[in-house]
Structure formats: structure tokens, C-alpha cells
Amino acid sequence: MTLPRIAIDAMGGDEGVRVMVEGAALARRDYADFKFLLVGDQDRIAAALKAHPGMAGASEILHCDDVISGEEQPSKAIRRAKTTSMGLAVNAVKEGAAGAAVSAGNTGALMAMSKIALRTMPGIDRPALAALMPTLEPHDVVMLDLGANTEANARNLVQFAVMGAAYARIVNGFDRPTVRLLNIGTEEIKGTEALREAAAQLTAATDDPTSGLALHFDGFVESDKINRGETHVVVTDGFSGNIALKAIEGSARFVTDLLKQAFTSSIRSKVGFLVSRPATELLRHHLDPNNHNGAVFLGLNGVVVKSHGSATAKGVANAVTVAARLLENKLTQRIAQDLGELGEDALRGNGAGAATDDSAKESGATA
């Protein structure tokens, strides 16, 4: 099928234009029908395109020299949505000039701009930030929310579960993904009132033989089991999710740095490194965040993908590919269908542990 073009905030991220353009070019090697709207400084983008001749005919440049910094508060950034590369990339999705937007810029600003421009889908109270993380199994695990909402009530968590399952069906090919709620224990009595209420609602919805909801709810999961591969989707609030994400990323860096130190500590260890190099290279590849780059704001009327600010061209290419796969597999339509299967009866009132409105809370979290 012919996909809508993808708007890329070429000015976002640590490396900016060069890496964003190179990443788009890498993605296009595998998907020759990709088209791009590159938003940013026209001269810098044109210079970067010279290194990738095949991109010229597939790209249009939308000039903009105003950039959102990584330190800028979302409340201030949204005032410049119409003049910045990030804001114009998101607006292209709103106006139908692009099917999806990809940015490596400020996460909080991107979330705020996307929510204002695209609005949440009917039946979704709050969008959530979802990402893939590696596991011991062949499949990755989808985890959300990773920072869009510092608090979440039971209703929010149920909606996150539906959105996460729809995402897992696309990226991992599961017909009925297993979903669990992140908790301090697996027993039914553990956790906050919001968690227990969300678990009860999901259990009732998925145990109903007449329900066509395409997910299997399997209770709670503890944080040390997230990467075991025993579940396909892990659901939590953005505060706990972002802490868990950073802890997992930090542990991965700790292990790789520890191995590096160990293998360079002596002549014998260097010889040992040469012998074990195939295994260590496999480990390095598995833990490389560029291979899992591309967090998605689920629940919006459009596709917005957040790339790591420090992502390499390979990582940006992965984020672009994620955006294309979500367009190709009609993510928003799948979520809407699942919400219909869930029914309003499964989302009673505001649920337990009600949270305040998003506009009053800015997590400032990064992913």
C-alpha cells in the first residue's frame, strides 16, 4: 500500500539535522515508497540531503528556524507551536499534510503540542507514552505509560491496557496479547485502590465470553519480571513507568560498562574477550537502545513517535519505521474497535484514585 508521508522534526535531538535526515534515508532503503516532510532550517536540510541523493525526490522541505530546546517547559513551548519545527511537524498531521510525525526533541513539549493539536480519541481520557523493551524471549514487551501522566486512575489504566494491546498486536503480531499491571506484588490484595479496581474491570471484561476484546489480562507483574518475556504488555502510570524505564536502562548500561572494565583489566581478560566476543556482541546488540527506539503517544487522533534525543541514525530509522508500521496497520482504528468491544460499562465513572487534569500536571519525563 502507499503510505501517507511522514513529517520529521529535523531540528530535534542531540545531533539535529544530519542524524534525522540520515535516519530517514536508512529507513527508506527498506521501504522505497516512504515520503517525507522535513521540517527545519532549509539550508541545513538541503546540505544534509546531498549525502543521500535518493532522498531528494521523496522529500519536501518546510522551512523553519525556530527550535524547542530540551530544557524548555512544555507550558512555554506550546505557545510557539506554530513557529517551531516540532510544532509544525505535529500540525502537518493535524492538517492531513502528513500521516505521522517523528521528533527527537523535548518529550514534554511534544506531548503537550500533540495533545492540543490532535486531541484524544473518543473514549480515551489521556494519551499514554508507550515503548518497546527487550526481553529474554524473541518478542519485545510493550510498556506504558512511560511519562505522559504522573498519575492515573483505574479508568486510565484500563484504557492504557486496551491501547497497549492494540500496539502489541501490530509490532509483535500477537492476536491476543497478554496484559499485566505493574505492581509491588502479584497477589490480588497488593497495590493501590486504582490498581485493584483496574484489575477487576479488566478481569470482568476479558472473562466475558461474549467480549471480542483482543487481549488476555493476567493480573499483576513485579518490576523484576518486566524483561523476562512472560507478558506482552505492562501497564502502569507515567510516574512509576518512567522510574522503571530509567532503572532498566541504567542497569543495562551498568552491565555493559562492567563487562568492558572486566575485559580490559588484564592481558588474560583481553584474551578472554576475544574468545567470548560473539556472545558479548550479541549482548551489546540486544541492549542497544537504538534497536528499540521509537516511543509512541497512544490515544491521539494521529500518530506521533518520539525518538531518543541521543539516537543514532540507526535509531532514527527504527523510529521512522515504527511510525510507518502504525500507519500501515491503522493503529487508531484498532484502538477504537477495541474500545467498542470493552464498552462503557467496563469504565465505571472515573474509577478509583482519580487523578487531576493533565493540563495541571507536566511530568517533564523523557523517554
The answer to whether residues 134 and 99 belong to one domain is no
**Which pLDDT does position 275 carry in this prediction?**
56
End-to-end CA distance of the chain: 31
Please report, rounded to a whole number, the percentage of residues in the chain having pLDDT higher than 90.
38
Containing structural domain, residue 26: 6-118
The answer to whether residues 212 and 259 belong to one domain is yes
Tally the residues of the chain.
Answer: 367
Q: In the listed set 59, 86, 118, which residue is the last one of a domain according to the structure?
A: 118
Q: In the listed set 64, 83, 118, which residue is the last one of a domain according to the structure?
A: 118
Q: What is the largest CA-CA distance in the chain?
A: 67
The residues near 185 (Cβ < 8 Å, ≥ 6 apart) are 191, 220, 222
31 within a domain of the structure (yes/no)? yes
300 within a domain of the structure (yes/no)? no
225 within a domain of the structure (yes/no)? yes
The answer to whether residues 141 and 261 belong to one domain is yes
From CA 96, how far away is CA 92, in angstroms rounded?
6
The answer to whether residues 109 and 143 belong to one domain is no
The answer to whether residues 110 and 248 belong to one domain is no
Which CA distances in Å does 97 have to 36, 276, 294, 302?
10, 50, 21, 12
The answer to whether residues 274 and 198 belong to one domain is yes
In eight-state DSSP terms, residue 316 is H
The answer to whether residues 186 and 283 belong to one domain is yes
The answer to whether residues 283 and 136 belong to one domain is yes
**Which pLDDT does position 363 carry in this prediction?**
44
What CATH number did the domain enclosing 112 receive? Answer: 3.40.718.10
Specify whether the CB–CB gap between 20 and 311 falls below 8 A: no
**Which pLDDT does position 123 carry in this prediction?**
86
pTM of the model: 0.82
298 within a domain of the structure (yes/no)? no
Q: Is 62 in a helix, a strand, or coil? A: strand
pLDDT single digits (tens) 197-241: 999 999 988 877 666 778 899 999 999 999 888 899 999 998 998
Cis peptide before 288 (omega within 30 of 0): no
The answer to whether residues 113 and 139 belong to one domain is no
The answer to whether residues 114 and 132 belong to one domain is no
Q: In the listed set 52, 86, 118, which residue is the last one of a domain according to the structure?
A: 118
For the chain, how many structural domains are there in total?
A: 2
**Which pLDDT does position 361 carry in this prediction?**
43
Q: Which amino acid is at 121?
A: M
Collect the ranges in the chain with pLDDT lower than 50.
1, 348-367
Cell of 365: 519525563
